[in-house]
């Protein structure tokens, strides 16, 4: 068997940079949630304080995922997937309905959203599937993994949760590109079409009549824009655009303070941020996400084995996909599908899951000097 030794050298600058980027994005998130909910005090603990509690819980998950060897975690992939599937089924049967969709399992005062954790588990499952033995031929490379993914995808779409469903597909697509398809050309084409899907969607979508869109949208995603008039999308564009170069300052965002923005603390937290901090703030935030992606891909590149590389690639692709689609939808170039901005949007399950995924990423990095034999 393999004898694994951990990289016990002092954490290098690389890791501190990685952590600093995460903390910076989380802080901007808390600040924006604070501002978005400032004029409407909710009874009980304010949302920004709750988000900080989620971050502490996420930090614990981060440490757990960092300490246990990722080979050990990957061995649990299939049992974990089974648990997630059961939870997703439970949600469908008994889940808490909010805004027309069933996504939550209430646990005491909190609500737990299994579809968030399903994404991370899918990364584990697909990575350990490809890393285990030689997978030859398109059947083993493409079809089998897609069959593994299907039940989870089905249960998520059924809720309906279009956003999580798309993230699920994106993780699968990214894995396929990195390892699945032999021909480089096909792979690139596939990823491009996946990433361009939202844009292409917009073109197809644009050709539809209003009533057709309305029907489709209320079918797949009943919680946004039931009027189908693009009101929320427009308000979000106005918020971002009105920020101009320097922004309107903290609490200065009339779009969010006057409640023109729906869900200013969750899906549209980027609009709140962009209105208040302007293009300068946006550059800082995009810079932070770019740094996070560069550092993450670097970890994948330096991984010692295929499993580590695939885990890192999956986490990176998932976070990048969510960030791009979320900012894209607030900026009006992607339809509104309900994907939160990683590390920024308010939400317990998403915050804990994202931090756990980042812990896994750093795990891969810290064990890159693993010795075999």
Partner 1 sequence: MSEFDLHSELREVQRRLSILRIILLLFLLLLGGRLWHLQIYEGGYYRNLSDNNRTRTVLIEPARGLIYDRHGELLANNVPSFTLYVTLEDVKDREQLIQGLITLIGLDEDMVRKKLSARGSKLLPRKVKDGLTLREAALIESHRLDFPGVMIQAELQRNYPAGLAAGHMTGYVGEVSPDQLERENSSDLHQGSIVGQYGLERTYDRSLRGRPGQKVIEVDATGHVKQTVLVEKAQSGDDLYMTIDIRLQKLAESLLGEEAGAIVALDPTTGEVLAMASRPGFDPNILSRELTGKQWEDIVQDERHPLTNRATQGQYPPGSTFKIVMAAAALETDTVQPATHIRCVGGYPFGKRVFRDWKTGGHGMIDLKHAIIHSCDVYFYTVGNRMGIDTIAEYAGQFGLGKETGIELPSERAGIMPSTMWKERVRHEQWFPGETISAAIGQGYVTVTPLQMARLVGIVANNGVSYKPHLVRTIMHRETGHMEDSVPDLQGRLTIDRSTLALIQEGLAGVVTEGTATKAKSPLVTIAGKTGTAQTAALRTGPQEDIPKKFRDHAWFVSYAPVESPRIAVAVLVEHMGHGGSAAAPLAKQLIEEFVKLRPLDPVVANPEHPISENLSRRGAS
Residues in contact with partner 1 by the rule CB under 8 A? 38-40, 43-44, 133-134, 174, 177-179, 184, 187-188, 191-192, 195, 235, 237-245, 254-255, 257-260, 274-275, 278-279, 282-283, 286, 289-290, 293-294, 297, 300-301, 303, 305-306, 309-310, 313, 316-317, 320, 323-324, 327-328, 331-333
Closer CB to partner 1, 114 or 253, in the complex: 253
Q: How far apart are CA 74 and CA 78, in angstroms?
A: 8
Closer CB to partner 1, 156 or 364, in the complex: 364
Closer CB to partner 1, 6 or 283, in the complex: 283
* Residues 282 and 274 sit within 8 Å (Cβ to Cβ): yes
* Residues 258 and 348 sit within 8 Å (Cβ to Cβ): no
Q: How many CB atoms lie within 10 A of CB 8?
A: 7
Q: Identify the residue whose tokens are 């969010």.
A: 256
* Residues 173 and 142 sit within 8 Å (Cβ to Cβ): no
Walk across the sheet containing 96-98 and list its strands: 96-98, 101-107, 110-112
Closer CB to partner 1, 40 or 212, in the complex: 40
Shortest Cβ distance from residue 136 to partner 1 (Å)?
A: 11
Q: How far apart are CA 170 and CA 8, in angstroms?
A: 34
Shortest Cβ distance from residue 150 to partner 1 (Å)?
A: 24
Give the residue among 248, 306, 300, 312 at the shortest CA–CA distance from 274. 248
Shortest Cβ distance from residue 174 to partner 1 (Å)?
A: 7
* Token pair for 77: 């992939």
Residue 230, Ramachandran bin (φ over 0: left; ψ between -120 and 50: alpha; else beta): left
Shortest Cβ distance from residue 114 to partner 1 (Å)?
A: 26
Shortest Cβ distance from residue 43 to partner 1 (Å)?
A: 5
Shortest Cβ distance from residue 63 to partner 1 (Å)?
A: 26
Closer CB to partner 1, 39 or 212, in the complex: 39
Closer CB to partner 1, 214 or 305, in the complex: 305
* Residues 253 and 276 sit within 8 Å (Cβ to Cβ): yes
Shortest Cβ distance from residue 125 to partner 1 (Å)?
A: 17
Closer CB to partner 1, 188 or 208, in the complex: 188
Shortest Cβ distance from residue 357 to partner 1 (Å)?
A: 16
Closer CB to partner 1, 122 or 178, in the complex: 178
Shortest Cβ distance from residue 189 to partner 1 (Å)?
A: 12
DSSP 7-67: --SPP-HHHHHHHHHHHHHHHHHHHHHHHHTTTSPPSSS-HHHHHHHHHHHHHHHHHHHHH
Q: What Cα–Cα distance (Å) separates residue 230 from each residue in 88, 235, 329, 359?
A: 31, 9, 11, 38
User: In angstroms, how far is the first alpha carbon of the chain from the final one?
Assistant: 6
* Residues 141 and 132 sit within 8 Å (Cβ to Cβ): no
Closer CB to partner 1, 72 or 133, in the complex: 133
The C-alpha angle with vertex 367 and arms to 22 and 76, in degrees rounded to 5, equals 85
């Amino acid at each position: 068997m393999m004898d694994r030794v951990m990289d016990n050298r002092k954490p290098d600058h690389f890791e501190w940079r990685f952590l600093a980027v995460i903390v910076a994005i989380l802080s901007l998130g808390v600040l924006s949630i604070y501002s978005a909910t400032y004029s409407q005090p909710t009874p009980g603990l304010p949302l920004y304080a709750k988000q900080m509690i989620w971050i502490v819980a996420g930090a614990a998950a981060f440490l757990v995922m960092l300490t246990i060897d990722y080979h050990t975690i990957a061995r649990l992939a299939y049992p974990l997937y089974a648990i997630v599937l059961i939870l997703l089924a439970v949600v469908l049967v008994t889940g808490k309905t909010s805004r027309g969709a069933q996504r939550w399992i209430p646990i005491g005062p909190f609500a737990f959203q299994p579809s968030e954790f399903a994404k991370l588990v899918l990364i584990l499952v697909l990575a350990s599937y490809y890393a285990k033995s030689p997978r030859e031929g398109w059947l083993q490379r493409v079809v089998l993994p897609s069959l593994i993914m299907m039940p989870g995808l089905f249960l998520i779409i059924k809720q309906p949760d279009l956003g999580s469903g798309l993230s699920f597909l994106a993780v699968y697509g990214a894995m396929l590109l990195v390892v699945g398809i032999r021909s480089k050309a096909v792979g690139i084409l596939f990823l491009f079409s996946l990433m361009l899907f939202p844009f292409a969607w917009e073109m197809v979508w644009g050709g539809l009549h209003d009533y057709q869109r309305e029907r489709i949208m209320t079918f797949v995603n009943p919680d946004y824009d039931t009027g189908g008039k693009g009101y929320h999308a427009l308000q979000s564009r106005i918020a971002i655009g009105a920020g101009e170069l320097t922004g309107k300052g903290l609490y200065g965002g009339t779009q969010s303070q006057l409640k023109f923005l729906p869900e200013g603390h969750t899906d549209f937290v980027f609009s709140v941020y962009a209105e208040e901090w302007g293009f300068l703030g946006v550059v800082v935030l995009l810079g932070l996400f770019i740094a996070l992606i560069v550092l993450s891909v670097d970890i994948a590149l330096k991984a010692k084995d295929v499993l580590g590389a695939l885990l890192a690639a999956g986490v990176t692709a998932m976070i990048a996909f969510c960030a791009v689609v979320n900012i894209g939808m607030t900026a009006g170039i992607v339809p509104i599908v309900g994907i939160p901005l990683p590390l920024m949007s308010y939400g317990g399950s998403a915050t804990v899951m994202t931090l756990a995924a980042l812990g896994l990423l750093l795990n891969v990095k810290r064990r890159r000097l693993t010795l075999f034999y």
